[in-house]
Structure 1
Amino acid sequence: MLDVRRMQVLRAVVTTGSVTAAAGRLGYTPSAISQQVAALEKEAGTALLERVGRGVRPTAAGLLLTEHAAAISRQVNEAETALADLREGRTGRLSVRYFATVGAPLVAPALAGLRRDHPGVQVDLKLIDPDDPLPEVEEGRADVALVVRPHGPPGGGVRLEHLLDDPYRAVLPKGHPLAARRNLDLSELADERWVGSERPGPCLDAVLDACAAAGFSPQFVVDSEDYATAQGFVAAGLGIALIPLIGLRTQHPGVIVRKVRRPEPVRAIHAAVRESAPARPALRVLLEALKDAAAR
C-alpha cells in the first residue's frame, strides 16, 4: 500500500526539482527526503525519480504518483474547508417539525433569517399536526420540534428551549353582553356555551387548567379543532371561544376579541431538542433564529 505522506514528499521533490530544495520546503534533511522517496519506490515496485545533472526528474511512474498526490492534497484542503464550514455553522442539514399556527409568525421568519445569514444550512421542514413530534426528536429522526409544553418534563432525554408565551383571548360574537368590556375575568365565561378550538393535548390542557383555576369546567357545545372554523361558529352565535393570540392573526369580521385575566390562559411554546445530540453549530444557529423571531 502506498504511503500518502511519502507521496507528498515525492511531489515536493518533483515540483522543486531537487531533493535539497524539497528538504528546505518541508523542513527535513536531504537524507530524510531521500529515505522517504526510496521507501515509496519500494512500495511502488518501480523507480520514481531519475537524475538529470544536479537535479532529478520524475519517471512516468513518479509523474503519475505526483499527480495523484496533488489530487489528494486538493481533496484534503476541500475536506478541511468543508469541515470548518460545518464546525462554524455555515453548512449542515437539519430536520425541523412544527405545528400549523407557528408556521407563518415564527418558523417562516426564522428560516428566512437563517437562509440570509447561513445559506449553506439546509432545512428539512415538516408539518406534524396532529401528531406528537417528541418521539421523532427522542429517536433522532428530527433535530428540533416546535411544541407546546406538556404537563411535566418531557421524557426520552428531550430538552425544551423556551421561545414564547402565547396568551389566549376570549372570542365573542358581536353584540354579546360582555363585548363592551375591555378585560374579562375568566370566571365570567363559566355559564357560556363554548366552541372548542383545540384538539386534546397541551393546548387544550392550558385552557382547561385555567378554567379549573377559575372554578369551573367549560361546557362545549361544538368542537372545531381549528381556529378559523371556531371563529366562524362564534360569529354565528353558537357560543364563545378561547383562542391563542397567534391563532387570531386573521380575525373574523363577526367576532370581538377581549383579554382574559384571573387567570390568563397561556400556552408556552418551546423548541424541543435531544439532550444527547452532539453539539451542532447549525442547530445552535437555528435555535437563535427561532428565538429572534419569537422576540420580534
Structure 2
Amino acid sequence: MLDVRRLRLLRELAHRGTIAAVAESLAFSPSAVSQQLSVLEREAGVPLLERTGRRVALTPAGRNLVRHAEAVLERLEQAGAELADARSGLAGPLRIGTYPSAARAIIPAALAALGREHPGLEPMVTEVDPAEVSALLRSGELDVALVHEYDFVPAEPAPGLATESLFTEAMYLAAPAPGTIADHRDSPWIVAPHGTLCHSMAVRACQATGYTPRIRHQIDDFGTVLALVAAGQGVALVPQLGVADAPLGVALSRLPMARRTRTAYRAGAARHPAVAAFVAALHTALPSDLRC
C-alpha cells in the first residue's frame, strides 16, 4: 500500500524540482525527504527517480504516479470538507493569503462579516505575492488565498489547486499629466520589485508598445508609488484598488488592460465550510464598483 505522506513528497518534488526545495517547504531535512522517497520507490516496486550527481528527475513511472497522487490528495480534501461540514459550527484557524492592496481594501470588511457569521473561526492573514501562493497552499501553510493576474501576465494552471473568479479591476497610468504608456518611452518608471507579477506586468506592458522601461524605483506599496509620482520621480501602472486618495500632482489615465483577482484553494476544498464561508464573506465585502 502506497503511503499518502510519501506521495505528497513526490508531488512536491515534481512541482519544486529539487529535494532541498521540498525539504524547505515542508520543514524536513533533505536526508529525510530522500529516505522517504526511497521507501516510496520500494513500495511502488519500480524506479520513480533518476539521480545524476545531485540532480533528481522523475521517471515516466514517477510522473504517472504524481498524476494519481494529485487525484488522491483531491479526494482527501473532499473527505475533509465533508467531515468538517458534519460538525456543528465552524471553529479553529483559517490561514488566508492575500496581496497588499486587497489586504487593505477588502480583507478587513470580509473578516468582520466572517466573524459575525462564524465567531468560532480564527482567521490568520498573511501578505504573500501571488507567485508564491501555489506552493504555500499545497504545503498546507495556507488554506485559501487571493491571487491576481494581468492581461500581460496570465496565470499558469497550478496542479493540485482550484480557483474561482472574484472581481476585475481597471488599470491606470499614474503620471504628472494624462497620457498613454507610449508617451513615456523616455520617462523614469516606478515598478514593483523584480520577481513579482506586478513587475512583469509593467515591463511587458511597456514592451508591447515597443520599448523596455527605464526603471528608477522598485516599490511594492501603491501609496508610496503614487507619492513618488507626485514628487516627480517617475510614472507607474497602478490598479484600481491602489489609486484611492491619489495625491495632488498625479493624473490617472485609464488603460485598456485589467487586473483580475481569484480565490484559490487546494483542489477538493471548495466545499470545505470554512473556505466557502470566507469566499462568501469576500463577496459581501466587495466595493460596489467591483461587484459583478
TM range (shorter): 0.5 to 0.7
Whether 1:190 and 2:182 are equivalent positions in the alignment is: no
Question: How far off is 1:84 after superposition?
Answer: 9.8
Q: Deviations over 1:32-81 (max 9, x none)?
A: xxxxxxxxxxxxxxxxxxxxxxxxxxxxxxxxxxxxxxxxxxxxxxxxxx
1:105-144 to 2 correspondences below 5 Å? 105-128=105-128, 132-144=132-144
Q: Deviations over 1:115-144 (max 9, x none)?
A: 122223332222335982321111222110
Contact 1:171 1:241 in 2 (8 A): yes
1:87-236 to 2 correspondences below 5 Å? 87=86, 90-93=89-92, 94-128=94-128, 132-149=132-149, 151-173=154-176, 179=177, 181=178, 184-197=179-192, 199-236=194-231
Change (3 A) 1:242 1:207: same
Whether 1:275 and 2:278 are equivalent positions in the alignment is: no
Question: How far off is 1:96 after superposition?
Answer: 0.8
Cα RMSD of the aligned pairs, angstroms, is 2.8
Unaligned runs of 5+ in 1: 1-82, 174-178
What percentage of residue pairs aligned between the two structures are identical? 26
Q: Residue in 2 aligned with 1:255?
A: 250
Output the TM-score relative to the length of structure 1.
0.60
Q: How many residues align?
A: 203
Structure number with larger C-alpha Rg: 1
For 1:172, the aligned partner's letter is: A
Change (3 A) 1:252 1:187: same
Question: How far off is 1:151 after superposition?
Answer: 3.8
Tell me the secondary structure at the aligned position of residue 265 of structure 1. strand
Unaligned runs of 5+ in 2: 1-81
Change (3 A) 1:168 1:110: same
Q: Residue in 2 aligned with 1:66?
A: none
For 2:250, the aligned partner's letter is: V
Output the TM-score relative to the length of structure 2.
0.60
Contact 1:86 1:92 in 2 (8 A): no
4+ runs deviating over 6 angstroms: none
Contact 1:90 1:119 in 2 (8 A): no
Q: 2:286 aligns with which of 279, 282, 294?
A: 294
Question: How far off is 1:202 after superposition?
Answer: 1.6
